C-alpha cells in the first residue's frame, strides 16, 4: 500500500503521460484514486476501468471532501481552482516527483535520465525484465503500445522509472542504478546555461544509493563531461558505447530493415566475452539505448546473457517512430522528436529504411522558448529530409514570445538549400502532403504537440 497520505489521492491533470502512470500504480496498490483532466481520452478511459473517479474539466467541487492529498505536475498552473481549493482546505499538495519517489521506496530502483532517449530506454527495461518473468514496477513518460501501458505495479522488487531533468524533479529519487544517456542544453525556461544542466545532473548522481551504479554514455560529450565531475568513491561507473574506454563496448552495429543487430563486449563483472543481440527498432541511437538498458539490468544482477535476447521483445513506444499505416505505397510514421539531436537521429534512422523513396517531414516546433533557442538547429536538422512542411509553433503551457515563429526553422532549413515550406493551417497539411507524396515515399509527422493526430488524416487523404 502507498504511504498514508496517498490512500485517497486527487490528480490534477490525471490524463497526462506522467500523472496517469502514477494514478494507475496507486489504483493497482489499492488506493482510492480520483482526479480531473481537461478532456476525455483513451488514457482517462483506461483509468476509469481501474476504478479511478475522473472528472472532465477543472472545478473546486471536483475535489472530494476526504481527499488525502492533491498531486500536481509542473505543467499545472498555480491558479487552477482545484489547487486553490486544496490550499484553502489545508490538503497537502504533492509534486508528481515526490509521489513517484514514495512509490519507489523499498524497491530496487533504476532511474533513467538524459536529454533524449529516456522513454525508449525505460520502456526497453520494462519490457525485457517483464519478459524474463521478473514483473517489475515501472513508470514511463509514454505508452508502450496502447493507452494505459505507461505504468505497472509489479510483484517483483525492481522499479524502473523515467527521471525527468526538465524541472529538476529527478533530484527527488534515490535509485540503486541510474542511467545518463546524454547531457545537452534544453528546457530553456528552467536552465540558463549548460553549466547549470551539469550541476543538476551531478545532484541527481549524488542521489544514487551508496554502493550503487551509474551507467553513462562513453560517446556523448556531455555525458563524458558529467562522468569526469563525479568524485564519489562508493559508486560503480559503467561506461557504455563505441568509445575505446567503454566498459560495455559496442563492437558491431548492423541495420536489418526496421531492426538492427548489435554485438557488445562485456566486462568480467557481467560475465565477459561477446554478446550479440537483436534490437527490434531501427537506428543506431536506439541500439545504444538498448546497450544502456542491458548494462543497468546487469548492474542489478540480472544476467546479461538473459537480458540481451529479452531486449528484442521491445518493439516501440507510441510516437517513437510508430508506423501509422500505408496508403497508395506511401508509409506514414509518427515521431515525437522535437529537439535538433532527436530530429537528426530519427531522420538518419528512417533514411536507412527508405530504400529508393524520399523522406518527407511534417514538423511542428514545440514551445516558443525552445524555438527561440534552438530553431536554427531544428531547421538545419530538417535539411536531412527530402522535403519538409513546417507548421506553426505548438505553445503547450507557454505564452507567445514576440518575434518567435516557425519562420526561424523554415529560414534555417532553406539556407542549407532544403526543400521546405511553411503551412500555417493545420487542416491544410494532409492535402499538402498528399500532393507531395509518391509511391515508395516515407512521410514522418514529427514533434511533441498535436501534429501526432495528422497521421490518420494524411492516410485518408492519400486514399481519396
Please state, in angstroms and rounded to a whole number, the distance separating the CA atoms of residues 252 and 328.
36
**Does one domain contain both 334 and 283?**
no
**Does one domain contain both 412 and 300?**
no
**How far are the Cα atoms of 80, 347, 448, 455 from residue 140, in angstroms, in the given order?**
25, 24, 16, 23
Q: Is 162 a catalytic residue?
A: yes
Q: Is 119 a catalytic residue?
A: yes
Query: How many of the other CB atoms lie within 10 Å of CB of 251?
Result: 13
Instruction: State CA 229 to chain mean position distance.
Output: 26
Please state, in angstroms and rounded to a whole number, the distance separating the CA atoms of residues 411 and 231.
44
Residues 6+ apart with CB under 8 A from 295: 179, 215, 238, 240, 247, 248, 270
pLDDT of res. 130: 93
Lowest mean pLDDT among 107-121, 151-165, 349-363, 405-419: 349-363
- Quote the cell numbers at residue 304: 546479461
- Taking a C-beta distance cutoff of 8 angstroms, is the pair 69, 5 a contact? yes
**Does one domain contain both 88 and 111?**
no
Residue 119's domain is classified under what CATH number? 3.40.1190.10
pLDDT confidence bin for 250, thresholds 50/70/90? very high
The string of pLDDT tens digits covering residues 155-214 is: 999 999 999 888 888 999 999 999 999 998 775 667 778 999 999 999 999 999 999 999
Angle between helices 340-351 and 368-382 (to 10 degrees): 30
Last residue of a domain, one of 58, 93, 128: 93
**Does one domain contain both 338 and 296?**
no
- Taking a C-beta distance cutoff of 8 angstroms, is the pair 333, 350 a contact? yes
Last residue of a domain, one of 267, 285, 313: 313
pLDDT of res. 349: 80
Last residue of a domain, one of 268, 283, 313: 313
How far from each other are the two terminal CA atoms of the chain, in whole angstroms?
Answer: 53
- Looking up cell 522513454 gives 119
Residue 132's nearest CA partner among 297, 296, 330, 318 is: 297
**Does one domain contain both 133 and 256?**
yes
pLDDT of res. 1: 39
Q: Is 172 a catalytic residue?
A: no
Domain containing 293 equals 106-313
- Quote the cell numbers at residue 316: 516501440
The answer to whether 449 is annotated as binding is no
* Position 100 in a domain: no
* Position 101 in a domain: no
**Does one domain contain both 26 and 148?**
no
Query: How many of the other CB atoms lie within 10 Å of CB of 77?
Result: 10
Element (H, E) at 98: helix 96-104
- Taking a C-beta distance cutoff of 8 angstroms, is the pair 196, 165 a contact? no
Instruction: State CA 160 to chain mean position distance.
Output: 13
Q: What is the mean pLDDT of residues 238-261?
A: 93
**How far are the Cα atoms of 140, 163, 310 from residue 238, in angstroms, in the given order?**
23, 18, 21
* Position 388 in a domain: yes
**Percent with pLDDT over 90 in the chain:** 76
Element (H, E) at 124: helix 118-131
- Quote the cell numbers at residue 450: 498535436
Please state, in angstroms and rounded to a whole number, the distance separating the CA atoms of residues 307 and 296.
10
Please state, in angstroms and rounded to a whole number, the distance separating the CA atoms of residues 73 and 150.
16
* Position 148 in a domain: yes
The answer to whether the predicted template modeling score (pTM) of the entire model surpasses 0.85 is no
**Does one domain contain both 13 and 80?**
yes
Residue 47's domain is classified under what CATH number? 3.40.50.720
Q: In this structure, are strands 387-390 and 322-327 parallel, antiparallel, or unpaired?
A: unpaired
Catalytic residue among 43, 119, 445, 452: 119
**Does one domain contain both 413 and 449?**
yes
**Does one domain contain both 124 and 257?**
yes
- DSSP at 311: G
The answer to whether 116 is annotated as binding is yes
* Position 19 in a domain: yes
**Does one domain contain both 51 and 189?**
no
* Position 99 in a domain: no
Catalytic residue among 43, 121, 162, 445: 162
Asked whether residue 3 carries a pLDDT value surpassing 50, the answer given is no
The answer to whether 338 is annotated as binding is no
**How far are the Cα atoms of 23, 48, 144 from residue 45, in angstroms, in the given order?**
13, 5, 17
* Position 150 in a domain: yes
**Does one domain contain both 121 and 233?**
yes
Lowest mean pLDDT among 140-154, 213-227, 242-256, 378-392: 140-154
Chain-wide mean pLDDT for the chain? 92
- Taking a C-beta distance cutoff of 8 angstroms, is the pair 154, 276 a contact? no
The answer to whether 120 is annotated as binding is yes
Catalytic residue among 118, 165, 423, 445: 118
Q: Using DSSP, state whether 242 is helix, strand or coil.
A: coil
**Does one domain contain both 54 and 153?**
no
Total number of domains constituting the chain? 3
The string of pLDDT tens digits covering residues 263-321 is: 999 999 999 999 999 998 888 889 999 999 999 999 999 999 999 999 999 887 666 67
Q: In this structure, are strands 322-327 and 137-139 parallel, antiparallel, or unpaired?
A: unpaired
Residue 436's domain is classified under what CATH number? 3.90.190.20
The answer to whether 326 is annotated as binding is no
pLDDT of res. 104: 95
Amino acid at each position: 500500500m502507498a504511504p498514508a497520505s496517498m490512500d485517497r489521492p486527487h490528480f490534477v491533470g490525471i490524463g497526462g503521460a506522467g500523472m496517469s502512470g502514477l494514478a494507475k500504480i496507486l489504483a493497482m496498490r489499492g488506493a482510492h484514486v480520483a482526479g480531473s483532466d481537461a478532456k476525455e481520452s483513451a488514457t482517462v478511459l483506461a483509468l476509469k476501468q481501474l476504478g479511478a473517479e475522473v472528472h472532465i474539466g477543472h472545478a473546486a467541487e471536483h475535489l472530494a471532501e476526504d481527499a488525502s492529498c492533491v498531486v500536481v505536475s509542473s505543467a499545472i498552473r498555480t491558479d487552477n481552482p482545484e489547487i486553490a481549493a486544496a490550499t484553502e482546505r489545508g490538503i497537502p499538495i504533492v509534486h508528481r516527483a515526490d509521489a513517484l519517489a514514495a512509490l519507489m521506496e523499498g524497491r530496487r530502483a533504476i532511474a533513467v535520465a538524459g536529454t533524449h532517449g529516456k522513454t525508449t530506454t525505460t520502456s526497453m527495461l520494462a519490457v525485457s525484465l517483464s519478459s524474463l518473468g521478473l514483473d517489475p514496477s515501472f513508470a514511463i513518460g509514454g505508452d508502450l503500445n496502447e493507452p494505459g501501458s505507461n505504468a505497472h505495479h509489479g510483484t517483483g522488487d525492481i522499479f524502473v522509472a523515467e527521471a525527468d531533468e526538465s524541472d529538476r524533479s529527478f533530484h527527488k529519487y534515490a535509485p540503486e542504478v541510474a542511467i545518463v544517456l546524454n547531457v545537452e542544453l534544453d528546457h530553456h525556461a528552467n536552465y540558463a546555461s549548460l553549466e547549470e544542466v551539469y550541476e543538476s545532473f551531478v545532484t541527481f548522481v549524488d542521489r544514487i544509493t551508496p554502493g550503487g551504479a551509474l551507467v553513462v554514455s562513453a560517446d556523448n560529450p556531455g555525458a563524458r563531461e558529467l562522468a569526469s565531475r563525479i568524485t564519489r568513491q562508493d559508486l560503480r561507473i559503467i561506461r557504455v558505447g563505441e568509445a575505446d574506454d567503454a566498459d560495455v563496448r559496442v563492437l558491431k552495429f548492423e541495420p536489418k530493415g526496421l531492426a538492427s543487430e548489435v554485438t557488445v563486449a562485456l566486462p568480467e563483472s557481467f560475465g565477459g566475452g561477446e554478446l550479440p543481440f537483436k534490437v527490434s527498432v531501427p537506428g543506431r541511437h536506439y541500439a545504444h539505448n538498448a546497450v544502456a538498458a542491458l548494462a543497468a539490468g546487469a548492474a542489478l544482477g540480472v544476467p546479461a546473457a538473459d537480458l540481451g535476447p529479452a531486449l528484442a521483445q521491445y518493439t516501440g513506444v507510441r510516437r517513437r517512430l510508430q508506423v501509422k499505416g500505408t496508403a497508395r505505397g506511401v508509409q506514414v510514421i509518427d515521431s515525437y522528436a522535437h529537439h535538433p539531436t532527436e530530429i537528426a537521429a530519427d531522420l538518419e534512422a528512417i533514411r536507412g529504411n527508405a530504400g529508393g523513396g524520399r523522406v518527407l517531414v511534417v514538423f511542428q516546433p514545440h514551445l516558443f522558448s525552445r524555438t527561440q533557442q534552438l530553431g536554427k538547429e531544428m531547421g538545419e536538422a530538417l535539411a536531412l529530409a527530402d522535403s519538409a512542411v513546417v507548421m506553426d509553433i505548438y505553445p503547450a503551457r507557454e505564452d507567445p514570445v514576440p518575434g518567435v515563429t516557425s519562420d526561424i526553422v523554415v529560414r534555417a532549413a532553406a539556407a542549407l538549400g532544403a526543400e521546405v515550406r511553411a503551412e500555417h493551417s493545420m487542416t491544410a497539411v494532409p492535402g499538402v502532403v498528399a500532393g507531395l507524396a509518391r509511391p515508395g515515399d516515407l512521410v514522418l509527422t514529427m514533434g511533441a504537440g498535436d501534429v501526432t493526430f495528422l497521421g490518420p488524416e494524411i492516410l485518408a487523404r492519400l486514399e481519396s
